Amino acid sequence: MPTDPIKVLILCTGNSCRSIMAEALVNDLGQGRFQAWSAGSFPTGYVHPRSIETLERHGIDPGQPYSKSWNEFAAQPLDLVITVCDQAAGETCPIFPGKPAKLHWGTPDPAKVLGNEADTQAAFDRAFYFLKERIEQLVATSERSE
């Protein structure tokens, strides 16, 4: 008997890098058992092109992400809310219906790394691999609890 996917919202401040990559990773690695969206407390209004490039370079379909406010999800029942900003743990998040579980995965902002092309790519790769590892653990844990 099919079950509804686990509904996950990934939050960051700007919703342009880390949360965008995490959304795509959850949707890809979750193989239909998870449905993810991302949003920001103060969305930038754009998706950082390096986020899309990083996902595609690692074989992950980025989908059609756009930078949006967490207010778009205020009435949506969620199972899990994950914050990925390295400072967001202290941010006040809105109350979501159904009292979803919460996780915080502090991830340094790769867009703030100053340096040459190689430094920037390395920062995005570090964020990608960190998030991928956490999401793989999340997926594996949900498989064991089924």
Catalytic residue among 85, 88, 123, 135: 85
Catalytic residue among 9, 10, 11, 12: 12
Catalytic residue among 89, 93, 101, 140: 93
Task: Report how far residue 10's alpha carbon sits from residue 22's, in angstroms, rounded to the nearest whole number.
Answer: 7
* Cβ density class 97-107: b for 16+ within 10 Å, e for less: eeebeeebbeb
Under 8 Å between Cβ of 121 and 140: no
Q: Is 17 a catalytic residue?
A: no
Question: Identity (one letter) of the amino acid at 122?
Answer: A
Task: Report how far residue 123's alpha carbon sits from residue 4's, in angstroms, rounded to the nearest whole number.
Answer: 35
Active site residues: 12, 85, 93
